[in-house]
Amino acid sequence: MRCANLPVRVSHCYKGLPPKAAVVATKAVVEAQVHYAVEAWWPGPTRTRLSRTTQTGAAKTAEVLNRPVAASLRAAVPAWKTTPTATVRFAAGRPLTIVVAANKRRRYV
């Protein structure tokens, strides 16, 4: 969460940080740390064993991973605290954490 607070501090300076540069910095720093080695530890949303499909609890993990990325993107895109995270991600052009993790895992396997 420390690295996610950097764009918040920088964007509150006089004239702030340009939104495009802030989104690029978020992608390079925050998302890189959040998604580090995700292909090894991300279980995926479901698991199939002996022809039975069960939930893995990945939604809870994705919620925890989403917090620093959302905080950083909220600082990058000029948005209020009450703006929904999905809207902020859409404005920044960044996909959901679950989608990024699933794509990285799919490429690895």
Give per-residue pLDDT as tens, 13-35: 666 678 788 888 888 888 888 88
CA 66 to CA 1: how far, in whole Å? 11
What pLDDT is attached to residue 106?
80
pLDDT at 9: 64
Q: Residues near 108 by Cβ (< 8 Å), separated by ≥ 6?
A: 39, 40
% of the chain beyond a pLDDT of 70: 84
Give the per-residue pLDDT at 12: 63
50-73: pLDDT as tens digits? 888 878 878 888 888 888 888 888
Q: What pLDDT was estimated at residue 51?
A: 81
Which pLDDT does position 14 carry in this prediction? Answer: 67
Phi, psi (deg, nearest 5) at residue 49: -135, 130
Q: What is the pTM of this model?
A: 0.73
CB atoms within 10 A of CB 67: 14
Q: Is the pLDDT of residue 47 over 80?
A: no
